[in-house]
A and B are shown apart, each in its own frame.
Chain A
Amino acid sequence: MEDFAVKIQGLTVAYDAKPVLSDIDLEIPKGRLTAVMGPNGAGKTTLLKSLLGLIPKVKGEVEFSCVRGKPPKIGYVPQSESIDTDFPVTVLDVVLMGCYGRLGWIRRPSKEDKEFSMEMLSKMKMEQYWDRQISRLSGGQQQRMFIARALAQKADIYFMDEPFKGVDAATEKAIIEILKELRSGGKTVVAVHHDLSTAPEYFDWVTFINNRVIANGPIEQVFVGENLSRTYKAGGVT
């Protein structure tokens, strides 16, 4: 049995009376890249948000395993369309937000925080855009910025909502490099992923959900035709 990063037992989440997730039992392994896959409306984003504690649960338990004796630090990459790109912030402003968790209330980011954020930007090859307002970035550049922000969080577990959505090929490659680097550093990554063709190459663990858990395990064992058809045909969503 592998060490788990997150253990979910009997999780049920509902909007109104309609359950979006019912009776989810799941162990997400530590130090792996896990893809959460399923058709539209399967509850992938809802699962992520309820793990982050942002949506009230109807019932069930979510347990995070400790990292070095402490609750793990959680990093987060939003779904790109959930962001208001007209908001008056620059690329560096956004990456700096990754440091806010360490600062706590009221304390302001220091020069070191800014330098560290610039470093994370250059890691994503975004340093020349640091003072741009974020609406003047391409989809790929925006995603690189959010990955840089997640890196600035220095988290133990990263939750990413479709990190490859709407990005160019070069960005996709850059992101997957970073994910692998995080894994070698012992970090856990949980990403909502849509592209069936790239999943086996990018991830080493997969969770198929469609309102409930269809399958969960190492990608080479679980990513098979039977599970795919059960995931994408169950529930009447095509």
Chain B
Amino acid sequence: MDMAIEIQLIAALTAAGCAIPGSFLLLRRMSMVSDSITHTILLGIVLAFFMVQDLSSPLLLIGAAAMGPVTVWLTELLVKTRLLSEDSATGIVFPLLFSIAVILITRYAGSAHLDTDSVLLGELVFAPFDRLTVFGVDIGAKGLYLSGGLFLLNVTLLLIFFKELQITSFDPVLAAVLGFSPTLMNYGLMTAASLTAVGAFEAVGSILVTAFMIAPPAAAYLLTEDLKKLPVTAVIIGAASGILGYHTAVFLEVSIAGCMAVWTGIFFMAAFVYNVIKRKRGAAAKC
């Protein structure tokens, strides 16, 4: 497959995968949690790396995925003291875990290919060089399978647990009364978000994952009032941002990840303007 097409596919699948857990983080007013998770999973990756000494080990994914719920648990532990609000607690937990990870990398993993630049910004350009071979046959870039797999995982989870996600997000009290544990769904969602973030991490780095998790769902939120259409719209916007971002970056000869994030912002602005116009028309029609 052509390298350029591979990069675009990885970008589109990554963004699409992020949009699904992102939609529910947004609806639960937990957008900043995605920022928190995308940073703290780095500690999970680093700790797992120290254990297995292999950057391509799937254990790194598991370490990272475990860090998401740990982050949420630590944050809630602080919130439960009633001494700080949720956002302050988030602001304390994630810089702590993230900075430990950065110190560990710079101090002990300097020789490994785990440097802070690639962690922060990702290395999508190099993704096509990392091939997946089965019995000596090259079947495509590893990143393609990783991002595709995570996208499919998110779609599957969404289809299975749509009803549970809806009720625990909208009315956690009724959900609890009816036996759908909001806590269980919350940790499930965090695990899915962390796993997805790890995949996105390789493509766009830890900072821009937040752009993919939140901006496309936020734009979709302004375009639709149907919970079924929300993740679908967000997936389309995310994937389009990935592809358009790639072409813009090639044309301007700048960072691919940066351009993709810019496109998510452009889509959000367009949705915002559309929403304002629609509301004004709606108000005018009422007169």
Which residues does A use to contact B, with CB under 8 Å?
Answer: 15-16, 49, 52-54, 74, 76, 78, 82-84, 87-90, 93-94, 97, 100-101, 103-106, 108-109, 133, 149, 153
Contact = CB atoms under 8 A, between A and B. Distances in A.
Contacts of A53: 176
Interface stretch (B43-51, B106-114, B191-199, B224-232): B224-232
**Listed residue (B27, B178, B179, B230) with the most chain A CB atoms within 10 angstroms of its CB:** B178
A97 B225 contact: no
Contact of A87 (B27, B177, B180): B27
A167 to B, nearest CB: 19
Contacts of B225: 88, 90, 133
- If over half of B's interface residues share one DSSP class (helix, strand or loop), that class is named, otherwise mixed; here it is helix
Contact of B178 (A84, A100, A108): A100
A104 B173 CA distance: 16
A109 B230 contact: no
Contacts of B158: none
Interface stretch (B88-96, B117-125, B163-171, B245-253): B163-171
Nearest to A48: B173
B171 A78 contact: yes
Interface residues of B, number: 25
Interface of B: 27, 82, 160-164, 166-167, 169-171, 173-174, 176-180, 221, 224-227, 230
Tell which of B27, B169, B225 has the most Cβ of chain A within 10 Å.
B225
Contact of B227 (A16, A84, A89, A100): A89
B179 A101 contact: yes
Given A78-B171, A88-B230, A89-B227, A105 B164 contact: yes
A149 B174 CA distance: 10
Contacts of B160: 106
A52 B177 contact: yes
Nearest to B182: A54
20 contacts: A53-B176, A54-B173, A76-B173, A78-B174, A83-B170, A88-B221, A88-B224, A88-B225, A88-B227, A88-B230, A89-B227, A97-B166, A97-B174, A100-B178, A100-B180, A104-B179, A106-B161, A106-B164, A133-B225, A153-B178
Nearest to B178: A101
Nearest to A132: B225
Contact of B163 (A82, A90, A94, A103): A103
Contacts of B162: 108
Nearest to B227: A88
Nearest to B224: A88
A105 B227 CA distance: 19
Given A54-B173, A82-B173, A88-B27, 15 more contacts: A52-B177, A54-B176, A74-B177, A78-B171, A84-B170, A87-B27, A87-B227, A88-B230, A89-B170, A90-B226, A97-B167, A101-B177, A106-B164, A108-B162, A153-B178
A53 B183 CA distance: 14
A212 B7 CA distance: 66
A89 B164 CA distance: 14
Nearest to A155: B177
Contacts of B226: 88, 90
B230 A100 contact: no
Nearest to A83: B171
B216 to A, nearest CB: 15
A93 B169 CA distance: 13
Contacts of A76: 173-174, 177
A105 B161 CA distance: 8
B278 to A, nearest CB: 13
